[in-house]
Structure 1
Amino acid sequence: MKSVSTPLSELPHILLYGAVNSGKSTLFNLLVGQEYAVTSPIAGTTTDVLYKRIELPEVGPVVLGDTPGIGDGSPLGEKRMAATRVALRRADLVLVLQSEEELLDPDLPKFYPNATFLPLKLSFEEEGEAVRRRVIALIIQALKERPKHRCESLTGSLAKRGDMVLLVMPQDSAAPKGRLILPQVQMIRELLDKHCMVVAIQPEELQTTFLKLKGLPDLVVTDSSLFQSVETQLPPDVPLTSFSVLMSAYKGDIGRLVEGAKVLSELPPDAHILIAEACSHVPTNEDIGRVKLPKLLRQKLGDKLVISHVNGNDFPTDLSGYQLVIHCGACMMNRNHLLTRQDEAGRQQVPMTNYGIAIAQLLGILDRVVLP
């Protein structure tokens, strides 16, 4: 049986950044150990961000990214720089190839405060293996020195050894046939690692499950779109949360996301809300971001709301036209990507919240929802 690799969103992201022809792609190939990126003396050879999963000693698997060079004067130069800015949003460690003492852009650490910037001065006249060993040693040291600023688990202290955790997992038409979506897979694996007892059901089986269980569950985790239905059937002393809420705490700053949701009670009738989804897929009539959440927003706040959608990497740099951003759980993003989006919204004084947190606030049950 083929083993399943750790999702790329769970791995450290290392990015090569610098001017055109500064040697980024040459270094990328040295670190990868093969001619993976095209190199040439022609400026602008690298036209998009190129990623490769590699293994590093003492660290394990990481994602290495090669970016288009800064200072590309070609007609596509600005589009290539836009792709680099997206890559910087998700970077944990940025290796800056430079010939001067300062970073190419001294403001980079201010705009990407969650990344570590490591200036490099390399001479490719050295033997390639020597350069590779030296850079890998610097990467390992930099990653070891990075502060631990993430939750260590999805459930945190909400689930402990011996607990019974009930997962209410609708399998609608948007779910991949024969497979579970990533948050459900990660949740089940984590709970098994914690030696919890896991009971996974579809929503229509909730009452039957309560009758068959000898006792009440210690925690219930549901899909955010089912908050109201599950909450009304659940005894008030049973902790309730959702996959989206737990994922947002795992990937972002949940304190700021909860604060952002409070704006929902203060929005004007014609407010402009941006709904941002991390992944790209064809919407269905059961889609939470495109269908269920907008419907609930209009039911609670009125039909004059203006709701826009973006997905994947298409997150606007200018958020000034929005009164609120509602983001998905970001299961397909690494932590830095969501944190950077939160920082960008914060700098522009635009509140940001999360699907599950927003739904709970709109339903008036946010105080009922437990947070890790």
Structure 2
Amino acid sequence: MSELNKTPSSSRLHIAIFGKRNMGKSTLINALTGQNLAIVSEYAGTTTDPVYKAMEILPIGPCVIIDTAGLDDLGDLGELRVKKSLEVLKKTDIALLTVTGEGFSDFDREIIKLLEEKNIPFITVINKKDIIPANSEFTEELKIKNIPYVAVSAQLKEEIHTLKELIIKYSPKEFEQPTIVGDLINPGESIVLVIPVDTGMPKGRLILPQVQTMRDILDNDGVFHVCKERELRWTLDKLKEKPKLVITDSQEFSKVSADTPDDILLTSFSILFARYKGDLMKMVKGAKALKNLKAGDKVLMAEACTHHAQPDDIGKVKIPRWIRQNIENDLTFDFCAGRDYPDNLSDYKLVIHCGGCTLNRKEMLSRIEVSSVQGVPVLNYGLCIATLHGILDRALKPFPEVYFQWLED
């Protein structure tokens, strides 16, 4: 199946499976998916690093199943594996804690504490019921503490359907992400999408935020027109009615702003994703921190994916160059990419993050929260570029609540 026909992993329900070694976590994944996706062995510690698999699980729908290393893994290497497993909590929508009928271990109680602290719903999966029946004291504890549970045999695929029903029941109701543009337009209104075709554009396809925005417009009964930046003025002249909104790639903000009449709202894909994936209100505050950078300050450039950097890469080259030209030359830029996001941000005055299209909303909000708790402002590429080009005021007008807060601050 073409990747364009699949639900992006970032938009799927993330189900993480935790538990000690040899609890049958990998067997449980195979039972849930109906496929032999995870390596199964009688030896403890077969799973070393978190393993991600995007799946369609009926009747749940599009999911990402995350298999983790045992919480009781031993030695220095085992400690690193457990740390990697716990990092999965940042993106977990619902957790399955896999145990046997003998009850919770100290390791299990520790992960329960973390799940409760982070308000992550979880289900206790009492596995191997065909070998170790659940004792009555354990099930009574679960009932008293109001912890949802089900006894299954992953090996024999018994009660797996019941587990799926519990996943549906206890998955967070707010899992569905907010609309990208649906609240900005009425049915029948049109939007112009400005999409440059340059060396950074994947060959033969559009990038994910552009595709998702198009789908969201269609879902909300809107109409969209697509053009390159040099064709925008011609496109607007040819339309019989003014579009409600123009959305541009952030790198073309200056030209598109100049070619878009003031009575047409303008923003960027990246700014739309700042609220779709994260918290636009908090990220806008990072724009003020950008303006206040001083000589010697350190800035972290954070990428969610690990794409091959182009010679004029937006995150590694262009934005640092623009900041040095327009704000302050004597700055230090550090870079991180993929799933590695620093826990300690105390050395930084600002985090500038990509749009986060490959992250699920839970993980993007987690990254924003990490920054907020440590008092380090964060903004994304689109907000940064709009600030540097002096058009952030205009780019925020489609979002009145954020726009007026920005003016007041």
What TM-score, normalized by structure 2, do the two folds share? Answer: 0.84
Q: What's 2:145 paired with?
A: none
Instruction: Give the share of equivalent positions with the same residue, in percent.
Output: 40
Structure 2: how far apart are the matches of 1:238 and 1:51?
A: 43
Q: How much has 1:194 moved relative to structure 2?
A: 2.7
The higher-RCO structure (CA 8 Å, 6+ apart) is 1
Tell me if the contact between 1:44 and 1:74 (Cα under 8 Å) persists in the aligned partners. Answer: no
Amino acid at match of 1:129: K
Are positions 1:118 and 2:123 aligned together? yes
Structure showing greater Rg: 2
Alignment CA distance shift 1:19-1:56 (3 Å): same
Tell me if the contact between 2:47 and 2:69 (Cα under 8 Å) persists in the aligned partners. Answer: yes
Alignment CA distance shift 1:39-1:109 (3 Å): same
Q: How much has 1:239 moved relative to structure 2?
A: 0.5
- 2:216 corresponds, among 168, 184, 190, to 190
Q: How much has 1:173 moved relative to structure 2?
A: 0.7
Alignment CA distance shift 1:103-1:254 (3 Å): farther
Tell me if the contact between 2:293 and 2:328 (Cα under 8 Å) persists in the aligned partners. Answer: no
Are positions 1:139 and 2:143 aligned together? no
Are positions 1:72 and 2:77 aligned together? no
Q: Report the more deviating stretch, 146-155 or 90-99.
A: 146-155
Q: How much has 1:249 moved relative to structure 2?
A: 1.1
Q: Report the more deviating stretch, 271-280 or 100-109.
A: 100-109
Q: How much has 1:149 moved relative to structure 2?
A: 6.1
Q: How many residues align?
A: 369
Q: How much has 1:354 moved relative to structure 2?
A: 1.1
Q: What's 2:104 paired with?
A: 100
Structure 2: how far apart are the matches of 1:55 and 1:223?
A: 32
Q: Report the more deviating stretch, 70-79 or 196-205.
A: 70-79
Tell me if the contact between 1:173 and 1:286 (Cα under 8 Å) persists in the aligned partners. Answer: no
SS of the residue corresponding to residue 55 of structure 1 reads: strand
Alignment CA distance shift 1:313-1:338 (3 Å): same
Q: Report the more deviating stretch, 279-288 or 326-335.
A: 279-288
Q: How much has 1:46 moved relative to structure 2?
A: 0.5
Are positions 1:255 and 2:281 aligned together? yes
Q: What's 2:262 paired with?
A: 236
Q: How much has 1:107 moved relative to structure 2?
A: 4.3
Q: What's 1:50 paired with?
A: 51
Are positions 1:158 and 2:184 aligned together? yes
Q: How much has 1:261 moved relative to structure 2?
A: 2.2
Structure 1: how far apart are the matches of 2:31 and 2:237?
A: 61
Tell me if the contact between 2:59 and 2:164 (Cα under 8 Å) persists in the aligned partners. Answer: no
Structure 2: how far apart are the matches of 1:27 and 1:149?
A: 23
Amino acid at match of 1:109: L
Q: How much has 1:342 moved relative to structure 2?
A: 1.1
Structure 2: how far apart are the matches of 1:171 and 1:112?
A: 42
Structure 2: how far apart are the matches of 1:141 and 1:210?
A: 48
Q: Deviations over 1:321-352 (max 9, x none)?
A: 11111111111111111011112112222111
Tell me if the contact between 2:20 and 2:71 (Cα under 8 Å) persists in the aligned partners. Answer: yes
Q: What's 1:63 paired with?
A: 64
RMSD: 2.2
Tell me if the contact between 1:277 and 1:328 (Cα under 8 Å) persists in the aligned partners. Answer: yes
Structure 2: how far apart are the matches of 1:107 and 1:344?
A: 19
Tell me if the contact between 2:23 and 2:127 (Cα under 8 Å) persists in the aligned partners. Answer: no
- Map 1:216-235; keep pairs closer than 5 Å: 216-235=242-261
Q: What's 1:10 paired with?
A: 11
Q: What's 2:33 paired with?
A: 32
SS of the residue corresponding to residue 246 of structure 1 reads: helix
Structure 1: how far apart are the matches of 2:200 and 2:223?
A: 27
Q: How much has 1:53 moved relative to structure 2?
A: 3.2
Q: Deviations over 1:100-147 (max 9, x none)?
A: 28633354236644x32333333442653324133222212112xx23
